Amino acid sequence: MAKSFFITTAIDYSNGQPHLGHAYEKIIADVLARSRVCFGEQAFFLTGLDEHGQKVQQAALAEGKTPQAFCDHLAIGWRSLPKTLNLRIDDFVRTTELRHKQVVQAILVKLEREGHFYKAEHSGFYSTRQETFLTEKDRLPNGGFDPFYGEVVELKEENYYFKLAPHQDWLISHIEQNPEFVSPENRRNEVLGFLKNQKLEDLCITRPASRLSWGIPIPFAPEYVTYVWFDALVNYISVPASHGDPIVCQALDLPGSSGEAGARELWPADIHVIGKDILQFHAVYWPIMLRAMGLPLPSRILAHGWWQKDGQRMSKSTGNTVDPQAVVTEWGVDAFRYYVVRELAIGADGNWTDAGFSGRYHSELANGLGNLVNRSLSMVHRYRGGVLPARSNDLEAEAAIASGETESHLRACNPQAALQSIWALIARANQYVDQTAPFKLAKDPHRSARLDEVLYALAETTRVLAVLLWPFLPGTAEKIYAQLGLGNSPNRFTDSSWGGIRPGHQLGPVAPLFPRKDHPKA
């Protein structure tokens, strides 16, 4: 079996409910994953939950639950998100799963054996109340610490460290020689600046179990647990390992190396979709970890921006939030998917406004796409009883341009630009209706043949649009196919070539795709 196109999101810290930022990241990844399905590739889309750590442990304690029970409860809501957003995911990982913990431990054993770790003592200011070390940043102007931290003591603690210094030079040259490795470009420059301007400090990879018990035990030092890096990031390879990926299994001496039946070839990842806040972890620490393990690096780290609401930071305490579930319930999942992808170039920060959402919904989805499909197919029903008599090539060239641009933009990870290309075809088709005026042709029996051609061009354009739209608006694309009377799914890009509808084809029933919401029915 050939290697699949492997795309991941960050796994979310299971310490709250999904919000707009989480939903956005997953939708971007889903659009890119679905586009690969369209291109005829095997795609594998992974997302999941990061469940260990201090905050989870404390939150569980506060609720009188075990950390595992706390995570199990929260996971229910998170696992429903893919369904809410119509994500075509292939796996959902939780870091408390055995398959993940086993791989984490195998990695730790291997890297310890090969001398990548050392043990050292660190002393610093420790807040017993907050159970955390404080840094100079936490100091107040008078040199003390906020009473919030309670008693602060100078504490010495031994931990394991991962050596980073030997990796700095090759990482810089790898990023320089692979322009797509960190994208967009401004983020790449940021990482290069970070790497070139300072010596990397070694990474502390453990916590004493006495202080933080909710983590994966270090196999060779059970009085410690792993700290984030060698836990959360590892999901990107622990899941491939659990599917028998030969590259990961061989590098880590895991069972499955011999290539079992049903094994998936996943690693290296093609795209890690992440938020800009965790760029350093993915562009600096993660590549170094992989190199130390003897694994190839992912092809691309795609860092997206943050959303605001009405120009303000979203915050639960002020209620200034966007609830993805509520928007989907009110407007439909495809409207939500459309808005977040269309509004932002990947990497830019966005600003959600209800007026902006409603504006795009009405002008682009309802009046643009929805009305085009509705007017086109309605005329076929009205004038030809829903049967397309003759083929024509009007609009073929415009459809081909839209297809070509859509594909190249999707391959370049620019779904926003792809939507703009698709909407250029929608605008052209709406213009074509006015220029050819099929409703006038219908009144003149001598121009019946011309009417056939126009109706065909419009129906065929809506069919091409369904194919182009499938990665973005899968439900809508399938509705268009159903209205066209086509039984299959518009999920093959090769079907975007002109002439897919045969003369004599009978359309299905027509219904508006995106009903307007600003004019209540009279």
CB 23 within 8 A of CB 81: yes
Which residue lies nearer to RNA by CB, 120 or 348?
348
CB proximity list for 70: less than 8 A, separation 6 or greater = 56, 59, 60, 63
From 202-210, 255-263, 274-282, 501-509, give the range in contact with RNA by CB under 7 A. Answer: 274-282
Angle, helices 286-293/168-177, rounded to nearest 10 degrees: 110
Residue 351, strand partner residues = 308
* CA 113 to chain CA mean position, Å: 36
Q: How far is the CB of 11 from RNA (least distance, A)?
A: 20
396 to 435, contacts with RNA by CB under 7 A?
427, 430-431, 433-435
365 to 394, contacts with RNA by CB under 7 A?
366-371, 373-375, 378-379, 382
Sheet holding 217-218, edge to edge: 206-208, 221-226, 217-218
- Which listed residue (62, 76, 98, 141) binds RNA by CB under 7 A? 141
Three-state DSSP state, 341: helix
In terms of Cα–Cα distance, which of 489, 477, 487, 488 is closest to 508? Answer: 487
Residue 239, strand partner residues = none
From 10-18, 83-91, 189-197, 331-339, give the range in contact with RNA by CB under 7 A. Answer: 189-197
Q: How far is the CB of 6 from RNA (least distance, A)?
A: 27
- Which listed residue (62, 76, 142, 148) binds RNA by CB under 7 A? 142
How many residues in the shown chain lie near RNA by CB under 7 A? Answer: 48
Q: How far is the CB of 45 from RNA (least distance, A)?
A: 27
Rounded Cα distance between 113 and 117, Å, is: 9
Which residue lies nearer to RNA by CB, 332 or 500?
332
* CA 88 to chain CA mean position, Å: 11
Q: Residue 450, interface with RNA (CB under 7 A)?
A: no
Rounded Cα distance between 283 and 302, Å, is: 10
Rounded Cα distance between 426 and 440, Å, is: 21
Q: How far is the CB of 26 from RNA (least distance, A)?
A: 22
Residue 60's φ and ψ, nearest 5 degrees, are -65, -45
Q: Residue 448, interface with RNA (CB under 7 A)?
A: no
- Which listed residue (69, 412, 437, 449) binds RNA by CB under 7 A? 437
Q: Residue 519, interface with RNA (CB under 7 A)?
A: yes
Rounded Cα distance between 81 and 90, Å, is: 14
- Which listed residue (173, 197, 210, 488) binds RNA by CB under 7 A? 197
DSSP for 189-200? HHHHHHHHSSPP
Residue 127, strand partner residues = 132, 152
- Which listed residue (3, 139, 291, 492) binds RNA by CB under 7 A? 139
From 131-139, 174-182, 226-234, 330-338, give the range in contact with RNA by CB under 7 A. Answer: 131-139
Give Dmax over CA atoms of the chain in angstroms. 95
277 to 306, contacts with RNA by CB under 7 A?
277, 280
DSSP for 388-432? E-----TTHHHHHHHHHHHHHHHHTT-HHHHHHHHHHHHHHHHHH
Q: How far is the CB of 434 from RNA (least distance, A)?
A: 4
Q: How far is the CB of 425 from RNA (least distance, A)?
A: 11
Which residue lies nearer to RNA by CB, 258 or 431?
431
DSSP 147: G
143 to 182, contacts with RNA by CB under 7 A?
143
Which residue lies nearer to RNA by CB, 308 or 321?
308
> Could you list the residues that contact RNA (CB under 7 A)?
136-137, 139, 141-143, 186, 189-190, 193-194, 197-198, 276-277, 280, 348-349, 359, 363, 366-371, 373-375, 378-379, 382, 427, 430-431, 433-435, 437-440, 512-516, 519
